Structure 1
Amino acid sequence: MPPLLILIDQQQGIRAPHLGPRNHPDAERRMADLLAAWRQARAPLLHVRHLSRSPSSVFWPGQTGVEFQPALAPLPGEPVFDKQVPDAFANSGLERWLHQRGIASLLICGVASENSVEATARSAGNLDFTTWVAEDACYTFAKRDFAGQPRSAEEVHAMAMANLHGEYATVTSSAAMLERLRTTGSPC
């Protein structure tokens, strides 16, 4: 069985200009390709939606930023898990839901690389799920490091992927996962 595809925080608010420069401008297209392939294969998938606790957040409930981007929105019947912290496993029932369905492997994509993607992949690895991250179907934004040094979105993303690869997950590309799905019927 293919891994369960998890799309994280593909909501309209993540496109807010004030979030600044980002990497992987084609990440949404990569996510859409994965989503289409998983749907066509009738493989398991789910969507994660962030509902912020902060009124200043782009994901504050009750405003358009919390709504899914149309191209990546769930279809009727596709599961949606809500979270209020970066980790999709925290207080969401996701772990139990996966175990009840016998799902042991996950493919994660979404935003932000060093935030919700990394937090969710770390938990998945720690909970003993076989975990992949499609790095080109993830993105983040430029930010300052702890010492105040400006870091590009590419640097922030690369460090997040380095933090995950080999310890919590296998970091790969969307093309590699699509090719494995096409040739073997399962990217596992």
Structure 2
Amino acid sequence: MSISKSDKPALILIDIQKAFDDIKYWGGERNNPEAENNAGELLQLWRANHLPIFHIKHCSTIPTSPLNETHSGNEFKEIVRPIDGEPVIKKNVNSAFIGTDLKERLDIENISKLVIVGLTTDHCVSTTT
């Protein structure tokens, strides 16, 4: 994949967290086992090209949810773990734009294109687009 820096694309990684490996909680296996590997490849490409990256983390308000901040499932998967300087935006609803400053951050950086990736397309990714 080639990237044009003039397009100023931002990579938004949504909810790529350990909790989504909890088959018992979610009621079955995911249908996209390569999603985090693909996201990791995109992340490396963005880092190599010094392009804007935003990590979105779902922090459930439900105490028993593996996505609650008190559980280890709230942690990012290792392959997409943020490094120093990469912003982490916490949310507690499906969309990364509701109740966060994501839009303002994108506007400040004059972002013209978004590449949005995540583990649950039918929830967090679709509601963020």
Identify whether the pair has TM-score above 0.5, normalized to the shorter chain: yes
Larger Rg: 1
| TM-score, with structure 1 as normaliser | 0.62
User: 1:91 aligns to what SS in structure 2?
Assistant: coil
1:68 and 2:76 matched:
yes
What's the CA shift for 1:56? 2.2
Equivalent in 86, 96, 118 of residue 78 of structure 1: 86
Question: Residue 3 of structure 2 corresponds to which residue in structure 1?
Answer: none
Code of the residue aligned with 2:56 in structure 1: it is V
Superposed counterparts of 1:1-188, under 5 Å: 1-18=7-24, 19=26, 20-121=28-129
For residues 42 and 8 of structure 2, the distance between their equivalents in structure 1, rounded to whole angstroms, comes to: 12
For residues 106 and 96 of structure 1, the distance between their equivalents in structure 2, rounded to whole angstroms, comes to: 14
For residues 46 and 23 of structure 1, the distance between their equivalents in structure 2, rounded to whole angstroms, comes to: 25
Q: Tell me: higher relative CO, structure 1 or 2? Use CA pairs within 8 A at least 6 residues apart.
A: 2
Classify 1:35/1:71 alpha carbon distance in 2 versus 1 (closer, same or farther; 3 Å). same
What's the CA shift for 1:21? 2.3
Q: Percent identity?
A: 36
1:36-65 per-residue CA deviation (whole Å, 9 max, x = no partner) reads: 001001111110000001112120112101
| TM-score, with structure 2 as normaliser | 0.89
What RMSD over aligned residues (CA atoms) do the two structures have, in Å? 1.0
Code of the residue aligned with 2:51 in structure 1: it is A
What's the CA shift for 1:81? 0.6
Code of the residue aligned with 2:118 in structure 1: it is G
1:109-164 per-residue CA deviation (whole Å, 9 max, x = no partner) reads: 0021110110001xxxxxxxxxxxxxxxxxxxxxxxxxxxxxxxxxxxxxxxxxxx
For residues 42 and 56 of structure 1, the distance between their equivalents in structure 2, rounded to whole angstroms, comes to: 38
Unaligned runs of 5+ in 1: 122-188
For residues 35 and 9 of structure 1, the distance between their equivalents in structure 2, rounded to whole angstroms, comes to: 14
What's the CA shift for 1:2? 3.8
User: 1:21 aligns to what SS in structure 2?
Assistant: coil
